[in-house]
Structure 1
Amino acid sequence: MRRVGRGRSRAQGGAETGAATIELVFTVPALILMLWFLVFCGRMTDARLRVEDAAHQAARSASSQRTMSIADARAWSTAVEALKSAGTTCESLDVVTRGSVQSGGTVRTTVTCRVELSDLALLQVPGSADIAIEFASPVDVHRGTQRGPGTSGVSSSENRIVGAVP
C-alpha cells in the first residue's frame, strides 16, 4: 500500500517556493503604470474634447457677427468663457478667426490651448501639450434680410437688409 503525502518536501518542490510572491512584486507595479497611463490618456482626450467644444462655440459666435473685428473679439471671449466653465486651464491660449462674415460666407476659428501635463493626470508628468482645434461655421444666407413678399411689399428678388434706409 502506498502512502499519500500531504505536501511536497523541500527536496521535491523547494525551488518554486515564493515564486508567486516574486511574480506579484513584478506584476503589480506594471499594472499600476498601465492604469496611470490609461488615466493620462483619458484626461488628454477629455482636455481635447473641451478645447474642441470651445472652438465650436467660438466659431458659432463669430459667425453671427457683422464685422470680422467684432467676430474675432466675440470668438476670443466665447472661447475663454467656454474653457473656464469647462474647468480647463490653459497656460497660453490663442484664438485665430478667419473667413468672411458676409451672408453665405464661412468663419473658421482655431483655438490653441497649451495644457500643462502635470495638471492633467495628477501624475506629475513634466511638460505641456498644445491642443489645436479648428472649427468652421457657415454664415446664414438669410441673416438680416426680410422674409420675402408680403412683409413690406418688396418682391423676393429685392429683399432688403432689415434696418437699411430705403
Structure 2
Amino acid sequence: MSRLRLRPLGRSDRGSEALEAAIGVPAFLLFIALIIAGGRLAIADQAVQAAAAEAARSASISRTQGQAHGSAVSGATSSLANQKLQCTSKSVSVDTGGFAAPVGTPASVTATVTCVVNLSDVAIPGLPGTRTITATMSSPLDTYRER
C-alpha cells in the first residue's frame, strides 16, 4: 500500500512562475531576434543578387564599354531601391572586357555588387552592427553584334 506524501505546511511553489519567466522570456526574445536577423540577411542577400543580375544585364545590352559601366551602376542602384534595401555603403564593379572581343567570339559582361547592410537595430549580443553582402553575375554579349 502506497502512501501519499504531503508537503510540510511551511513550503509552497509560490514564486516559481516568476523564476521560470525570468529565465524563459529572455531566451525566447533572443530566439525571435535571431529569426528576424536571419530573415533580414536572407532578404538582403536575395536583393543584392538581383541587383547584380540587373547590372550585368543592363551592361550587356549597352552599345559601348562606357555606356555599359553607367548602365550597370544605374541598373544596380534602381534594383536595390525597388527592393527597398538600404545599404550603408554600396559599390558596383563591372568587367566590360568582353566588348574588346572580336565579332563572332563569345563574350560576356560580369558585374559585382557589394552592399553593407546595417543590423544595429537588431539587438543581439555578439551580432556585428553591419554585414557585407557581395554578389557576382554574368550576362552574355550578343556574339554577332557590332562592338
Given the alignment of the two structures, is residue 128 of structure 1 paired with residue 130 of structure 2, yes or no? yes
Q: TM-score, normalised by structure 2?
A: 0.79
Determine if the alignment matches structure 1 residue 39 to structure 2 residue 36.
yes
1:135/1:13 CA distance change after superposition, 3 Å: farther
Q: Percent identity?
A: 34
**Counterparts of residues 1-166 of structure 1 (less than 5 Å):** 10-11=7-8, 14=11, 16-98=13-95, 99-101=97-99, 102=101, 104-118=106-120, 122-124=121-123, 127-143=129-145
CA contact (8 A) 2:52 2:137 kept: yes
Which residue identity does 2:122 align to in structure 1? L
Higher radius of gyration, 1 or 2: 1
Say which SS state the counterpart of residue 66 (structure 1) adopts: coil
* Offset, 1:13: 9.2
Structure 2 regions of 5+ residues with no counterpart?
Answer: none
User: CA separation in 1, counterparts of 2:19 and 2:36?
Assistant: 27
Identify which of structures 1 and 2 has the higher relative contact order when contacts are C-alpha pairs closer than 8 Å and 6+ apart. Answer: 2
Q: Displacement of 1:140 after TM fit? A: 2.1
Q: For 1:74-127, what per-residue CA distance to the aligned partner results, in whole angstroms no more than 9, with x for missing partners?
A: 000011111111111112111100031355201110001112113xxx425662
For structure 1, list consecutive stretches of 5 or more residues without a partner in the other structure.
Answer: 145-160, 162-166
Q: Which moved more, 1:101-110 or 1:56-65?
A: 101-110
Query: Once the 2 structures are TM-superposed, how far is the Cα of residue 131 of structure 1 from its aligned partner?
Result: 1.0
What number of residue pairs does the alignment pair up? 138
> What per-residue deviation string (whole Å, max 9, x for no partner) do you get for residues 46-66 of structure 1?
011101100001101101112
Which secondary structure state, in structure 1, belongs to the residue aligned with residue 85 of structure 2? coil
- CA RMSD between the two structures: 2.8
Q: Separation in 2 of the partners of 1:41 and 1:84?
A: 21
Between 93-102 and 66-75, report the one with greater CA deviation.
Answer: 93-102
